[in-house]
C-alpha cells in the first residue's frame, strides 16, 4: 500500500530588515512586509526576488500603518483609514510582483492587525472583503481556531491554519501578548516541545493547559533572536518526523 507523505508548510515573516538570506533555504512560504510596519519598494523588490530564487511561495504581510511600534500596537483609526492603508500596501506589493513576472500566493496580516482580526469577526469580515477585492483568488493565513478562520470559511476564502513555533498560547487559543514574560520562545528546547505539540495538533499553553489546534503551516518570526539558526533546526526536526516541507500553492 502506498504511504502518503505527510506535509507541512514552514513560513516566516521577512523583508523586515534582518538577514533573510540565511532563512530562505529552510522555508516554503514567506510573508513580506509591504510598508505598513516596515519596508519600502526596494526591500519588497529584494525579498520577492529572493523568494523567486529559492522557489518560496510569496505572501503579502500588511499591517497597521505604524512603523514606530513595528505594527504591534492597535491604532485608534477608522476602519476606512485602515482599509485605505492596507489597500495601498497591497497594491504596492502586487505592482512589484508584476515587475518580477509573478503574483502573491497569499496574504497574512501582521502583528496587532493579525491578533485583532483573530478575535473580532466584524473586523475580519471588513479586511477579508478588502483582500478579495484586491486579490480575487486570495489565500489567507491566520490563527488556527480564530475569528479570522470562521469568517474566511463563511466567505468561502481559502484559509491556511497557522501555528507559531516561537510564541506561547492561552487556553482560548490566542497568542500570549509579547509584554508577558515567556510569550516569545527563544530556547531550542522550548521550540522543539512547541513543534511536537503543533505537529500532533495538541500543545501546552503558557499556564500548562492542553489545547487542540489544526495546523497546516508553522511560522517562525524573522526577528526572533537567532532566527536563522532556529529555522534550520526546525526544518531538520520537522523532516526527521517524516514531513515533506511544501507550500500550499
CATH 3.30.1050.10 fits 6-245, yes or no: no
Q: Of the candidates 16, 20, 29, 24, which has an alpha carbon nearest to the alpha carbon of residue 162?
A: 29
pTM for this one? 0.95
Q: Domain coordinates of the chain in residue numbers?
A: 6-245
Whether residue 1 is predicted with pLDDT greater than 70 in this model: the reply is no
Report pLDDT digits (tens) over 99-148: 999 999 999 999 999 999 999 999 999 999 999 999 999 899 999 999 99
**22-55 pLDDT, tens digit each:** 999 999 999 999 999 999 999 999 999 999 999 9
How far is the C-alpha of 187 from the C-alpha of 113, rounded, in Å?
Answer: 27
Specify the range with the lowest mean pLDDT, choosing from 95-99, 154-158, 172-176, 222-226: 222-226
CA 248 to chain CA centroid, nearest Å: 13
Q: What is the pLDDT of residues 209-239, one digit of tens each?
A: 999 999 999 998 888 878 899 999 999 999 9
> 117 by DSSP, 3-state: which?
helix
What's the chain's average pLDDT? 95
Amino acid at each position: 500500500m502506498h504511504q502518503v507523505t505527510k506535509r507541512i508548510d514552514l513560513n516566516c515573516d521577512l523583508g523586515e530588515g534582518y538577514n533573510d538570506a540565511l532563512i530562505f533555504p529552510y522555508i516554503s512560504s514567506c510573508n513580506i512586509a509591504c510598508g505598513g510596519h516596515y519596508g519600502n519598494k526596494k526591500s519588497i523588490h529584494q525579498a520577492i526576488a529572493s523568494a523567486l530564487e529559492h522557489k518560496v511561495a510569496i505572501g503579502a504581510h500588511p499591517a497597521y500603518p505604524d512603523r514606530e511600534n513595528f505594527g504591534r500596537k492597535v491604532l485608534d483609526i477608522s476602519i476606512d483609514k485602515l482599509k485605505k492603508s492596507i489597500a495601498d500596501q497591497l497594491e504596492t506589493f502586487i505592482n512589484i510582483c508584476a515587475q518580477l513576472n509573478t503574483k502573491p500566493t497569499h496574504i497574512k496580516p501582521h502583528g496587532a492587525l493579525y491578533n485583532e482580526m483573530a478575535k473580532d469577526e466584524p473586523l475580519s469580515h471588513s479586511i477579508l472583503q478588502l483582500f478579495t477585492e484586491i486579490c480575487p483568488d486570495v489565500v489567507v493565513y491566520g490563527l488556527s481556531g480564530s475569528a479570522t478562520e470562521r469568517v474566511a470559511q463563511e466567505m468561502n476564502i481559502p484559509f491556511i491554519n497557522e501555528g507559531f513555533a516561537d510564541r506561547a498560547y492561552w487556553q482560548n487559543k490566542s497568542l500570549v501578548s509579547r509584554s508577558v514574560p515567556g510569550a516569545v520562545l527563544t530556547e531550542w528546547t522550548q521550540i522543539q516541545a512547541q513543534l511536537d505539540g503543533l505537529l500532533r495538533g495538541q500543545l501546552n499553553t503558557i499556564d500548562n493547559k492542553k489545547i487542540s489546534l489544526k495546523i497546516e503551516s508553522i511560522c517562525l518570526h524573522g526577528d526572533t533572536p537567532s532566527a536563522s539558526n532556529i529555522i534550520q533546526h526546525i526544518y531538520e526536526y520537522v523532516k526527521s518526523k517524516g514531513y515533506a516541507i511544501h507550500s500550499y500553492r
